Amino acid sequence: MLSSVRHTDELSAVVPVGSPVRFTAADFKDLPYTPSFLLPALLDETILTEQIYHEACAEGFRYYFEEMYHDDGTHEQFVEHTYTRSEVIRCVVSEAKIDPRTPVPLAVRVGIVHGWLSALALTNLHLAQVGMQLLMYLITLEQGRREIGNEKLPLSMTLPHPWGGQVPVWNPKAC
């Protein structure tokens, strides 16, 4: 059964709706995680009910900012990174994929990516939503593999374009 995650009340207090101001990751680097920052997502209840998923969301949110800190040997410096569509797609696919050598539970993989994308959404909502659509697609593929025992399901995806037609989101030949 699918359940929707939607926590937006606290987010609107931090990012005013209709605000013409552009925020950067530096504006949020010290912001403590709260589940209200999670992007809305339609996730299976078996994932949502696991405590480890919620812990992984917090870890993914923190990791988004932590990976922008660089140590030059004497001190840490925050160096903002603006992600491209290709980088977000690669990140989602690499973090969400199944690796038989190091089996990480699905709830952990989904939680880390969900938290990371939610932090990205603070500065680039559109790109974060593309990543979330891809994540939900990959979850569906994995759950389908489990149900039918097929490891060779297609890994390409298109989404409906607001003005008609389809837009490719993930195509392994394009990356």
Q: Which residues lie closer than 8 Å to 100 by C-beta, 6 or more apart?
A: none
CB-CB contact of 135 with 114 (8 Å): yes
Output 65 or 55, whichever has higher pLDDT. 55
Mind listing the pLDDT tens digit for each residue in 136-174?
Answer: 988 888 776 655 554 444 445 555 555 666 555 544 444
Rounded distance, CA 42 to CA 105, Å? 18
| Cα distance between residue 97 and residue 114, in whole Å | 14
pLDDT of residue 14: 53
Could you give the C-alpha distances from 23 to 85, 94, 95, in angstroms and in order? 18, 27, 26
Q: Which two tokens stand for residue 119?
A: 């932090």
For the chain, give every domain's residue range. 2-16+23-174
H or E, element range at 132: helix 125-148
CB 96 within 8 A of CB 137: no
